[in-house]
């Protein structure tokens, strides 16, 4: 999905597509980091996640725990370390 969606839409999709294996999002600015993580937590069969721009903060640890089958995770954002929440410990 490109330039489309918001927290409510992604929550709706996640609730009805729990067997989703691949998700690619680009420039979905109305979506918040918390809304995105809440939706992804319902996608335990996700194998590929590709995120390109549009997120201010992502909890990578929560995504990793919620998606045990995740094989590919792409995060494409200039200087993303300022926008990504992670816990190295």
Q: What is the pLDDT along the chain (89 residues), one digit of tens a residue?
A: 555 667 788 788 889 988 999 988 877 666 666 777 888 889 999 999 888 765 556 788 888 899 999 999 888 765 545 555 545 44
Residue 53: inside a domain: yes
**Those residues with Cβ within 8 angstroms of residue 15's Cβ, 6 or more apart along the chain or in another chain:** 42
DSSP summary character for residue 31: S
- Give start and end residues of each alpha helix (H) in 3-81: 7-16, 33-40, 60-66
Report if residue 59 sits inside a domain: yes
The DSSP element (H or E) to which 23 belongs, if any, is strand 22-26
> Domain for residue 32, yes or no?
yes
Q: What pLDDT, on the 0 to 100 scale, is given for residue 34? A: 77
| Strand pairing report for 72-76 and 48-52 | parallel
Determine the structural domain holding residue 46 and report its residue range.
7-82
What is the domain count for the chain?
A: 1
| Whole-number pLDDT of residue 22 | 94
Q: Is the dihedral angle over the CA atoms 13, 17, 19, 21 positive or is it negative?
A: negative
Res 89: pLDDT: 47
């Amino acid at each position: 999905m490109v330039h489309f969606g918001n927290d409510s839409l992604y929550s709706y999709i996640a609730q009805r597509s729990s067997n989703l294996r691949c998700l690619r999002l680009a420039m979905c600015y109305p979506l918040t980091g918390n809304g995105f993580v809440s939706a992804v937590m319902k996608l335990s069969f996700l194998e590929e996640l590709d995120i390109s721009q549009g997120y201010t903060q992502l909890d990578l640890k929560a995504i990793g725990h919620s998606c045990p089958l995740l094989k590919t995770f792409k995060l494409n954002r200039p200087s993303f370390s300022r926008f990504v929440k992670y816990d190295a410990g």
